[in-house]
Amino acid sequence: MRGEVSESKPAQARAGAWDMCRLGIRNDFMEIKIRKAEMVISAVARGQYPAEGLPEVAIGGRSNVGKSSLINTLLNRRNFARTSSQPGKTRTINFYRINDAFFLVDLPGYGFAKTSKSEQLKWGRMMEEYLNTRTTLRGVLHLVDIRHRPTQLDVMFYEWIKHAGFHGIVLVTKADKVPRGKRKQRFDEIIEALGMEGDDLLIPCSSATGEGRDEVWEVLAQLCDLA
């Protein structure tokens, strides 16, 4: 399996719906210091992808789910990846090079109501080309909003990720919007709708409170072999 989190590493939650929400944090996990973060290119086709051969992790999900906000939270920057309350902001594949060591990739969102059929087709082709050909891609973080039941497009996107051979990693965004006591039901709904199983991971996140940031960094570190 491509991009698999290796057996010996602890960021692997075992089966069982609720257990998937817990991710062991390594005691010796050191926060990675962001020395450098650069926007390299907004790509729409394969020929434009960076060719350095550095490992990369992509961040995908519905329009407005919080992909660009997550990148900013991870990097401790306010407006590095462009965010907007208007859905459909990110329409290209945006490559961010971090510490000259790996890429974070902000994927264009899907499911934006005002998207035309031809835009949808373009999105589909762009994603297929990226997921199926990008050999340096170690994993895809699939973002879903804690407040909404996954849509058909979410299910399709998750299937794509798994089908391409990547570890299933779901980040449940905007966790701050739902009180802790009411979350389990939300998680169970997402797990069921996406058909999560085995050692798939589910990590609650919030760009408003920073919840989940450490866990996501640990996943990135493991996927990209960061020291």
Q: Where does this chain touch ligand GTP (CB under 6 A) — which range of 1-9, 50-58, 67-75, 196-204?
A: 67-75
Is there binding between residue 207 and ligand GTP (CB under 6 A)?
yes
Nearer to Mg ion, 66 or 168 (CB): 66
In DSSP notation, 128-174 reads HHHHHH-TTEEEEEEEEETTS---HHHHHHHHHHHHTT---EEEEE-
CB of 14 to ligand GTP, least distance (A): 27
Burial of 200 (0-12, 13-18, 19+ CB in 10 A): buried
CB of 121 to ligand GTP, least distance (A): 17
CA distances from 2 to 21, 131, 140, 161 (A): 22, 11, 11, 10
CB of 182 to Mg ion, least distance (A): 27
Contact 199, 24 (CB under 8 A): no
Report how far residue 107's alpha carbon sits from residue 197's, in angstroms, rounded to the nearest whole number: 24
Report how far residue 90's alpha carbon sits from residue 171's, in angstroms, rounded to the nearest whole number: 18
Query: Pick from 40, 75, 208, 226: which binds ligand GTP (CB under 6 A)?
Result: 208
- Positions in 170-209 near Mg ion (CB under 5 A): none
Nearer to ligand GTP, 35 or 180 (CB): 180
- Pairing mode, strands 56-61 and 93-98: unpaired
Is there binding between residue 90 and Mg ion (CB under 5 A)?
yes
Is there binding between residue 65 and ligand GTP (CB under 6 A)?
yes
CB of 198 to ligand GTP, least distance (A): 27
Grouping H, G, I as helix, E, B as strand and the rest as coil, residue 49 is coil
Nearer to ligand GTP, 14 or 78 (CB): 78
- Positions in 49-88 near Mg ion (CB under 5 A): 67-68
